[in-house]
């Protein structure tokens, strides 16, 4: 099921895999022909005592066949490796694009490190799956069938032994392989859990040390690592057992063929060249099954990764979620060109409601208000009032269960996310900074921005002074998540990031919640410059950030309880 659906989605990969299998099949056919020729040369040279000149043409042909087989094997491996690289690139890009479409709200139940492990090591496991397991599985069906037919033509009696031993080996592989499948699935899950545990430990290292739990955390790391190691060894043990049992069974079957051929050869029922050819071809009947046993664990590891990737790709995107709820929204096409032509005039919430999965009560219920162009509105309320949920809806990280958000009187749900991002920019409570330069972080939404535009955005955010004081100014590399910067500096970079977008609407989500008074005053001043001539939605609970608002809207238990000028 998995290979078929996977290859159906990527026809180029399917083509290269098909080429690899055909070349492998051709190489196997060459080996069968070479084996028959070798039996004839031995018979002519040693039994019939022909001279070297008599068998020389056959020897030259055999050498040519060996060279051709080597070329086929090399091309088959290159084809499968090309297919593997192509598939991994496509799976990574497609899965990442889908996760972006799912959005932060849809991924809230997922573990960050586990997602990283799936898109990293999980996708890499598809290399062995595609380049080794799939060709082995295909050749394990086709090559034995071809060898069986060839032996049937040469000596029909031997096929009776193969008819009995062949299915027995396949049954043995299936029985042992079922255990490999479950063990590999467990190992893959352990790897995801281990990655998440390590990330939690590293990110919470200061907290663990502060509460005296660092040593206990180290012991937990050792326990988790030991459990993962045990799962890995279980998989390797089962893979070794599979290979060993297949080797024994194939050897026993070959020995059985050799015994019956030797008796018939002694009685004179079989010529020497036919007997030798059948005896040498019999191991080739089992060889693809033995190779499949060796690669079986790689196939199951790839299957485990594929199942997880398929689960992630099945997560509903924002558009799919809204469609599934059946809002009955009119199918109105709104494009960024139309918005640019008429300009931004209003942002309206009409009876908007939202309930999180598994929650007993809605986070938002019948929320309605209108924000006009150029207006600054503050949204206030206690913790759990629905402010953060409203911010996620305004950013289209998720779609409302009820009602609709209107832009210029038209449903915002019908806008493409890229068009919506041209309308609204966001300054979050805890901005994410990336391990690049200061300039790259400011120009995150406009990677083609000039240094003059980046500098102007920093000036609007009152960030230019501290940036120029950094060792390399705008070219200073920030650590992971900007750890070398203070909280106020991080917030001003977030404001600069929003300023360079130059959108008509700005959403500021409790962006001064963790700042001291002096730093808050600097950031609020930068915010005032950003909000000039723009429509602003300020989610806040501190007086300094509410003071600049022209209107205050209060939320409580997901409902609007007050709206005042």
- As a whole number of angstroms, the distance between CA 154 and CA 277 comes to 8
Residue 159 lies in a domain: yes
Q: CATH no. for residue 72?
A: 1.20.1560.10
Instruction: Specify burial of residue 178 (Cβ count, 10 A radius: 0-12, 13-18, 19+).
Output: exposed
Same domain, 509 and 368: yes
Q: Could you read off the pLDDT of 121-173 as tens digits, one per residue?
A: 778 878 888 888 888 888 988 998 898 899 888 888 888 888 877 777 777 66
The answer on 286 and 388 residing in a single domain is: no
- Candidates 196, 197, 182, 195; CA nearest to 231 is 182
Per-residue pLDDT of the chain (565 residues; tens, 9 = 90+): 344 566 667 788 888 989 999 999 999 999 999 988 888 888 876 666 666 777 788 889 999 999 999 999 999 999 998 988 888 888 888 887 777 777 666 666 667 767 777 777 778 878 888 888 888 888 988 998 898 899 888 888 888 888 877 777 777 666 666 666 666 666 666 666 666 666 666 666 666 666 566 666 667 767 777 776 776 777 677 767 767 777 777 788 888 888 888 888 888 888 888 888 888 888 888 888 878 877 776 777 777 777 777 777 777 765 544 444 443 333 334 333 344 434 677 888 888 888 887 778 888 888 888 888 888 888 888 888 888 888 888 887 778 888 888 888 778 777 776 677 778 888 887 788 887 888 888 888 888 888 888 888 888 778 888 888 888 888 888 866 666 787 778 888 888 888 888 888 888 887 666 566 676 676 677 677 667 777 888 887 666 667 777 788 888 888 888 654 4
In this structure, is residue 153 part of a structural domain? Answer: yes
Q: Is residue 319 part of a domain?
A: no
pTM score above 0.75: no
Tell me, yes or no, whether 126 and 92 share the same domain: yes
- Tell me whether residue 485 is in a domain: yes
345 plus 219 within the same structural domain:
no
In a domain, 1, yes or no: no
* pLDDT score for 498: 84
Closest by CA position to 86, among listed 154, 9, 10, 8: 10
Are both 298 and 358 inside the same structural domain?
A: no
Give, in degrees to the nearest 5, the angle at Cα 390 between 388 and 393.
Answer: 115
Which helix (H) or strand (E) element contains residue 226? helix 214-267
Structure tokens, 158: 């031997």
- Same domain for 345 and 308: no
Judge if 308 and 355 occupy the same domain.
no
Report d(CA 135, CA 295) in Å as an integer.
10
What's the sign of the alpha-carbon dihedral 198, 200, 205, 208?
negative
Q: How many CB atoms lie within 10 A of CB 357?
A: 6
Q: Are 452 and 444 in contact (CB under 8 A)?
A: no
* Same-domain pairing of 250 and 386: no
Q: What is the pLDDT of residues 174-217, one digit of tens each?
A: 666 666 666 666 666 666 666 666 666 666 666 666 656 666 66
Identify the pLDDT of residue 340: 42
d(CA 152, CA 143): 14
pLDDT of residue 490: 84
- Domain assignment of residue 474, yes or no: yes
Helices (H) and strands (E) in the chain, counts: 21, 10
Supply the pLDDT for residue 320.
47
Judgement on whether residues 302 and 428 belong to the same structural domain of the protein: no
CATH of the domain at 539: 3.40.50.300
Do 254 and 388 fall within a single domain? no
pLDDT value of position 72: 94
- Structurally, the chain folds into a number of domains equal to 2
Domain end: 312, 346, 371, which one? Answer: 312
pLDDT at residue number 64 = 94
Phi, psi dihedral angles at 559 (to 5 degrees) = -125, 150
**Phi and psi dihedrals of 549, rounded to 5?**
-75, 140
Buried b (16+ CB within 10 A) or exposed e, 121-151: ebbebbbbbbbbbbbbbbbbebbbebbbebb
Are residues 128 and 28 part of one domain? yes
Domain residues for the domain of 109 are: 7-312
State residue 368's pLDDT score.
Answer: 87
Q: Do the domain assignments include residue 328? A: no
Residue 326 lies in a domain: no
Question: 242 with 344, same domain?
Answer: no
**Final residue before a domain boundary, out of 296, 312, 328:** 312
């Amino acid at each position: 099921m998995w290979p078929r659906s996977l290859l159906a989605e990527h026809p180029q990969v399917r083509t290269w895999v098909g080429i690899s299998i055909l070349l492998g099949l051709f190489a196997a056919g060459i080996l069968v022909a070479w084996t028959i020729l070798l039996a004839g040369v031995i018979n002519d040279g040693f039994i019939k005592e022909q001279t070297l000149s008599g068998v020389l043409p056959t020897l030259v042909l055999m050498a040519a066949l060996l060279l051709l087989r080597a070329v086929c094997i090399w091309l088959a491996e290159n084809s499968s490796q090309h297919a593997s690289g192509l598939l991994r690139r496509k799976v990574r890009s497609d899965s990442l694009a889908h996760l972006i479409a799912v959005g932060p709200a849809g991924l809230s139940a997922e573990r960050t490190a586990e997602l990283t492990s799936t898109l990293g090591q999980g996708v890499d496991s598809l290399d062995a799956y595609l380049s080794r397991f799939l060709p082995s599985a295909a050749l394990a069906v086709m090559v034995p069938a071809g060898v069986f037919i060839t032996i049937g033509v040469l000596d029909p009696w031997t096929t009776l032994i193969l008819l009995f031993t062949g299915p027995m080996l396949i049954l043995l592989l299936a029985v042992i392989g079922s255990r490999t499948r479950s063990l590999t699935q467990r190992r893959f899950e352990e790897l995801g859990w281990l990655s998440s545990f390590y990330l939690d430990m590293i990110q919470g290292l200061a907290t663990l040390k502060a509460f005296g739990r660092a040593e206990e955390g180290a012991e937990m790391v050792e326990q988790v690592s030991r459990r993962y190691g045990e799962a890995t060894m279980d998989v390797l043990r089962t893979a070794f057992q599979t290979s060993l049992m297949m080797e024994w069974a194939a050897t026993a079957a070959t020995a059985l063929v050799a015994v019956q051929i030797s008796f018939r050869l002694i009685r004179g029922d079989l010529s020497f060249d036919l007997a030798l050819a059948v005896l040498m071809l019999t191991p080739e009947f089992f060889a693809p099954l033995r190779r499949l046993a060796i690669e079986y664990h790689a196939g199951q590891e790839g299957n485990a990764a594929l199942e997880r990737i398929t689960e992630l790709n099945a997560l509903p995107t924002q558009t799919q979620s809204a469609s599934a709820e059946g809002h009955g929204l009119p199918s109105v096409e709104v494009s960024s060109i139309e918005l640019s032509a008429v300009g931004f005039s209003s942002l309206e919430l009409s009876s908007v409601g939202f309930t999180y999965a598994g929650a007993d009560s809605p986070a938002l219920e019948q929320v309605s208000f209108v924000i006009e162009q150029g207006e600054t509105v503050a949204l206030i309320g206690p913790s759990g009032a629905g402010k953060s949920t409203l911010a996620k809806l305004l950013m289209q990280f998720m779609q409302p269960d009820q009602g609709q958000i209107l832009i210029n009187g038209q449903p915002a749900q019908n806008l493409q996310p890229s068009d919506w991002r041209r309308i609204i920019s966001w300054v979050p409570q805890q901005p994410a900074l990336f391990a690049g330069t200061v300039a790259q972080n400011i120009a995150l939404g406009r990677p083609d921005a000039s240094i003059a535009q980046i500098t102007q955005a920093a000036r609007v955010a009152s960030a230019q002074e501290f940036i120029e004081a950094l060792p390399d100014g705008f070219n200073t590399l920030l650590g992971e998540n900007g750890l070398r910067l203070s909280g106020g500096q991080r917030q001003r970079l977030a404001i600069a990031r929003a300023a360079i977008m130059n959108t008509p609407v700005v959403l500021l989500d409790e962006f001064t919640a963790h700042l001291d008074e002096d730093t808050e005053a600097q950031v609020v001043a930068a915010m005032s410059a950003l909000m000039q001539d723009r429509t602003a939605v300020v989610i806040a609970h501190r007086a300094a950030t509410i003071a600049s608002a022209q209107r205050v809207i209060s939320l409580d238990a997901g409902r609007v309880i007050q709206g005042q000028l």
